[in-house]
Amino acid sequence: KKLWLKKKFVVETRYCLTLDRVPEALYPEICACDAQWQEWDDLVAIAEINPERKPAFLKANPNLMVDTRHFSRDFTLKLLASIEDLDANLDGVCFHSENFQAAQLMQERYRGSVKCIYNDPPYNTSEASLLYKNEYRHSSWLTMLQQVLSSSRLLLNDESVVAVAIDDFENHNLSKCLDQVLSPEARLGTLVVEIKPSGRTTDRFLATSHEFYHFFGLPDSKAEIAFF
């Protein structure tokens, strides 16, 4: 347990910034970076217009995104040093992590400021085609969910919403876990969605054709939910 709860190291940090935030002094290095141009081609098929790899093209396309993973540490440091109040200029942060550890890492910086959390845990069924473990013992599965939900709770405020997806197999256990961690008074409702009219072929008796989406806030929540 001590090893599991031990703070983990951040092994890599990358930044993606549009060209209008990048000093023009760095444009020649961007023009010479094959990996960046290949990424632009993969994302927006830039090769179809056969652009000149010159600073003038970069100036004319300020919304192209530069990914620092393609550049040297020196380039990244010069880029970050050129931006005053980096946090204020970042409009999105992505954590690539096991979700419990990510929630632990976020607690100080984002405590009470996350608007929405969507949790899509393993459904714990016999489906074998998935790339992650999907057959836990009930007790292990519940422990995992309890840890994640408890850590996530600290990130919420009175306007936040938590949504958790599940199907029939663990629905009753998940409902109890959500009530325990977030309280029954925090329940905003449950949405039932038909996902496969023909039903799953892995069920033993009745073929399941739907999933559940449980919505919670905090007690005395001021959250509003709209569906389109």
Tens-place pLDDT, residues 73-131: 999 999 999 998 888 888 888 888 888 888 888 988 899 999 999 998 887 766 555 45
Q: What is the pLDDT at residue 139?
A: 81
Which residue in this structure is represented by tokens 């033993």?
A: 204
Q: Which residues of 38-48 are buried (b: 16+ CB within 10 A; e: fewer)?
A: ebbeeeeebee
Query: How far is it, in rounded angstroms, from Cα 104 to Cα 98?
Result: 10
Confidence of residue 66 (pLDDT cuts 50, 70, 90): very high
Query: Distance between CA atoms of 2 and 11, rounded to whole angstroms?
Result: 20
Q: Are 34 and 87 in contact, with CB atoms under 8 Å apart?
A: no
* Mean pLDDT (whole number) for 18-46: 96
What's the pLDDT band for 159 if we cut at 50, 70, 90? very high
Share of the chain above pLDDT 90, in %: 56
What per-residue confidence (pLDDT) applies to 111?
Answer: 93
Tell me the whole-structure pTM to 2 decimals: 0.77
- Residue 169 and residue 198: Cα distance in Å, rounded? 18
Pick 192 or 99 by higher pLDDT.
192
Supply the pLDDT for residue 90.
82
pLDDT at 130: 47
Long-range pairs for 148-151 at CB < 8 Å and ≥24 separation?
A: 148/99, 148/100, 148/103, 148/119, 148/121, 149/119, 149/177, 149/178, 149/181, 149/182, 150/181, 151/100, 151/103, 151/104, 151/107
Above 50 in pLDDT, residue 12? yes
